[in-house]
Amino acid sequence: MHLTPGFLVKIMIFDTHAHYDDEKYNEDREEVLLSLAGKNVGRVVNIGASFEGAIASAELAKKYDFVYAAVGIHPDDVGVLNEDVMARISALADEEKTVAIGEIGLDYHWLVESRETQKYWFERQMELAVEKDLPIIIHSRDACEDTMELMKKAHEKYGDKHKGIVHCFSYSAEIAKEYVKMGFYIGVGGVATFKNGKKLKEVIAAVPLEKIVLETDCPYLAPEPFRGQRNSSDLIKYVVPVVAGIKGVTEEEVERITWDNACKVYGLADQKGA
Ligand code: NI
């Protein structure tokens, strides 16, 4: 069954990173998703983090025309990975509406899995993305150096086939520029509206708008004035003016350019609807 939003408007927001499979939407998932089109959200990529999340992402993409899927295993969850699970992720990657491998990477904040285990599966999943000709969605927390090292290694090995988004970017402007040089996009979300979001604002200033994509990471990271509450894709409208202000462009330009960026990185036709 395909559920299409009621109407489409001209300039729309592309949420490049959402987790609508999260249990926080168990009560009203369909209602939230179907309300997005009327709130100026045109496309959403639902990102798998766990294996179950990857399956759920593919299912959401099947059910809703405007939802696409990313499949992959988050560094906190790589303990579940083995050759069998990799084969199943690989099969999910072949589905028509799977547009990326992610989110994958390194998280040394909680260290749920050892650094070595995380690095091994990060590299394996990068390899899978190249094999499938899909971009990757990077999650990197408190692991700046090791992430950069593995990314540079992959870039040397795979060249332009190594592509994607560094999601919820939390490092310095200098590091952001390094990723942009490698052809990667920088994911910007609610943190840009936070009082302590100074570092991200410097990143937005330092990288071209043509290399920025908008994201929620919902249900997490709701922008001000909703910080701490459940997030959803329409709340990106609170991030847009921050980016517009820093870049000295209109909000419409931010929406249009980030929409185009998202379509480009995910390999989607640039169709804006009406
Ligand atoms: Ni996420």
Q: What is the pLDDT of residues 186-225, one digit of tens each?
A: 999 999 999 999 999 999 999 999 999 999 999 999 999 9
- Of the candidates 151, 146, 152, 205, the residue with the CA atom closest to the CA atom of residue 174: 205
**Ligand 1 centroid to residue 19 C-alpha, Å:** 7
d(CA 43, CA 223): 19
d(CA 57, CA 54): 5
Q: What is the pLDDT of residues 114-141, one digit of tens each?
A: 999 999 999 999 999 999 999 999 999 9
Q: How many CB atoms lie within 10 A of CB 228?
A: 9
**Ligand 1 centroid to residue 17 C-alpha, Å:** 6
d(CA 261, CA 83): 34
**Ligand 1 centroid to residue 251 C-alpha, Å:** 25
d(CA 74, CA 76): 5
Q: What is the pLDDT of residue 158?
A: 97
**Ligand 1 centroid to residue 46 C-alpha, Å:** 9
- Mean pLDDT (the chain) is 94
Q: What is the pLDDT of residues 35-72, one digit of tens each?
A: 999 999 999 999 998 999 999 999 999 999 999 999 99
Q: What is the pLDDT of residue 238?
A: 97
Q: Are strands 98-107 and 13-18 parallel, antiparallel or unpaired?
A: unpaired
Strands (E), 160-270: 164-166, 185-188, 212-214
Q: How many CB atoms lie within 10 A of CB 212?
A: 25
pTM to 2 decimals? 0.94
What angle (nearest 5°) sits at the alpha carbon of residue 114, between those of residues 182 and 191?
Answer: 50
- Of the candidates 221, 249, 226, 244, the residue with the CA atom closest to the CA atom of residue 15: 221
- Of the candidates 203, 78, 225, the residue with the CA atom closest to the CA atom of residue 139: 78
Q: What is the pLDDT of residues 228-238, one digit of tens each?
A: 999 999 999 99
**Ligand 1 centroid to residue 47 C-alpha, Å:** 7
Range 78-87 average pLDDT: 96
d(CA 62, CA 65): 7
| 45, HSE (Cβ side, Cα atoms, 13 Å) | 33
CATH of domain 13-266: 3.20.20.140
